[in-house]
Structure formats: structure tokens, C-alpha cells
Amino acid sequence: MTVKRLIIFVLTLTFLFAQTPQELVDELAQLPELKHAQWSVYARYVDAVNGEEPVIKHNEDMSLACASSLKVITIGLALDKLDPDFTFKTRLYYSGNIDEDGLLNGNIYIVGDGDPTLGGDQVGGVYSRKKLMSIWVKAIKKKGIKAIKGSIIADESLYPPYHVPGNWSWEDIGNYYGAGLTALCFSDNKYYLDFKPGEKEGDVAEVIAMRPDIPGMSYKNMMKTGPMYSGDNGYIISAPNIYYALFHGTVPAGEEKFTIKGAIPNPALLAAQMLQQSLEKEGLNVGNEAYVVNEKQNYHNDKLLKTIKSPPLKRIAEITNKL
């Protein structure tokens, strides 16, 4: 049971049985199911009217991993420092010159601004990956560019290079909730992995799709079929910038398709690769492979093609607090 659910459960029971929240927390602490559990809860009002006495507390001095509750601090600071109506702006530039045949003697740059929603599906009103690529391709073609001599370059230099903390578990960092931080997030930094469970427990669960397709990605599939209704017990072992993954654990029997989610090895690179693929489908050849830069770039002499704005920060915060 998460802390949020525990608090909601406690407050609901308070109304039903006219007990104080603290009395109910004390009763919960006596449950056999929680006898050996390590859990902590602390809540108090922060306004002057109600004072500083806690509403509920249990093991409030115990050192525990705070999990996703820490996002409240991050979101609060962002709203305070940036403004609720702040928007992130991902910019598309080109360098060099365009000759009379439409050949760009230069590069296309996707410059990250820290937008966590770019190409994602968590926040309403955000362009899908397909729509985003269509917008960028249209902006490039509108400029008269018919071929690119250089590369599609993803610039994530606003933040340190894509990484995760060194003490995170291997069973976490390959999964969507273990994705790292980058200034050029893309597709929520996650991919979907579809399995077809076997007919009975213990059968191999077949990989049927990876969405989006990640160029260069290979894997070893050790995923098995678990009991019916057993839920998601599958794990992806991988790491940032590693294009090999091990799938293991179980997905439930009785499902035609079962989907788990993994962390994209390099979201910024994938954004550049997908733009290159989209351009080439439209007949615009790109001379070199896409790549990522982590060093600060100067775009004063380059030309802006398109700016993609995120939803307002207050909307991002609202969705983040619900996840």
C-alpha cells in the first residue's frame, strides 16, 4: 500500500467511524500484515491557523526511501521559480546554406529545453511522435530544403549527459520508471514492449512488438508465462546508452497481448533518428547518421525553423502529481 493510499484510507475511515486519524493509524500499526513492514507516515497543516501539531504520524523519524512523494518538492520548486504558465520550448534550427538545388550544406539541430512531455502520451494536448515528426518535416521542406549534406543532431547540452544515479537497481533502470534525465526527453523516455503469453504457465512469452522501434536495439528474451491474473512481473535489464536488453520474469496467461514498458537507451538520439527516418521517407536524403551533442552550442548564426511549446507547467504538474 502506498503512502498516498494509506492516508486516503485512514481519512475515509475517520469519517465512517468517527475516530481520529491518529487512532486509525495506531490501529493499522497493530495489523498482522504490517507486523514486519517498514512504513512511515507524517502529515500536518502548514498554516498558522492549525498550528504545527501533526495530524497523523507513525515512525516519522525512520529513514526510508521517499519514492514518488519526493516529486511534490520538485514540482513545488518548479512552480515557484518558473511560474505556473511557464512553457518549455524545443527548437529546430538549421546551419549552413541552401544551394539552388535545395541542398543544405549544413546540419539540422533539435535543441532540448528540458520539456518532459515532448512526443509523449501522458499529458493531453501534446503532439504524438508521428505528428511531431510531420511538423518538423513540413518546416524543413517549407524552407526549400530537398537534401541535407550534414546530419540530424540532437542537442541535450542544457543538462548533463543522459544518465541515472549509480546506486539504482539493475532491475529498475531498464524499465520505464527507471529512465534517466535528459534535456531532450522524447516519448516520455519510454518504449512499449508487447508480449504474447503462452498457453500455460512456464511457456515462453513471445515478443511481438517494440513501440517505437529503436534502431540498433537487440535483446535476449527469457520472459515466461505466469499464472492467470498474476499481472506484470516482467523486468527489462538494460542501462542508458546500452542497446542490448534482457527480458525476464513473467506475464500472465490468458492474455492475447500483454504490454510492459522499458526505458529508451538514449531518448535524444531516438528523436534525431526518427526525424531522419521521416525525412528520408519523404525523399529528403540525409548525408550522415544522426548523433547527440552534450557540449554547449552557439546558434546565433543559425536559422530557426520551428519552436515546439510544451503545455503550461501547471498542467504538467497536475498530471505528474496524479501519476
- As a whole number, mean pLDDT of residues 40-45 equals 84
pTM as predicted: 0.85
pLDDT of residue 1: 45
Which one of 23-27, 28-32, 210-214 scores highest in mean pLDDT?
A: 210-214
Give the chain's length. 323
Q: Which residue has the higher pLDDT, 6 or 108?
A: 108
Q: How confident is the model at residue 50 (pLDDT cuts 50, 70, 90)?
A: low
Distances (CA, A) of 67 to 4, 55, 78, 176: 11, 21, 19, 15
- As a whole number, mean pLDDT of residues 96-122 equals 98
Three cell numbers, residue 271:
528523436
Tell me the C-alpha distance between 61 and 217, whole Å. 45
Tell me the C-alpha distance between 34 and 48, whole Å. 34
Whether omega for the bond prior to residue 116 falls within 30 degrees of 0, making it cis, is no
Task: Say yes or no to pLDDT of 55 above 90.
Answer: no
Tell me the C-alpha distance between 318 and 292, whole Å. 31
Handedness of CA 43, 44, 47, 49 (dihedral sign): positive
Q: How confident is the model at residue 285 (pLDDT cuts 50, 70, 90)?
A: very high
pLDDT of residue 63: 86
SS (H, E, C) 179-232: CCECCCCCHHHEEEEEEECCCCCCCECEEEEEECCCCCCEEEEEEEEECCCCCC
Instruction: List, for residues 225-255, the tens digit of each pLDDT value.
Output: 999 999 999 999 999 999 999 999 999 999 9
pLDDT of residue 174: 97
107 SS3 class: coil
Nearest to 246 by CA among 197, 199, 193, 180: 193
The answer regarding whether domain 75-161+266-322 maps to CATH 3.50.80.20 reads yes
Domain ranges of the chain: 3-64, 75-161+266-322, 170-263
Among 8-12, 96-100, 124-128, name the one with the lowest average pLDDT: 8-12
Average pLDDT, rounded, for the chain = 92
Three cell numbers, residue 174:
531498464
297 SS3 class: coil
pLDDT of residue 7: 52
Q: What is the DSSP-derived secondary structure letter of residue 53?
A: -
pLDDT of residue 21: 84
Residues 6+ apart with CB under 8 A from 61: none
Tell me the C-alpha distance between 234 and 225, whole Å. 10
Q: Would you state the torsion angle of the CA atoms of residues 25, 29, 31, 37, taken in this order, to the nearest 10 degrees?
A: 130
Instruction: List, for residues 156-205, the tens digit of each pLDDT value.
Output: 999 998 889 888 899 899 999 999 999 999 999 999 999 999 999 999 99
pLDDT of residue 119: 98
Percent of the chain residues topping a pLDDT of 70: 93
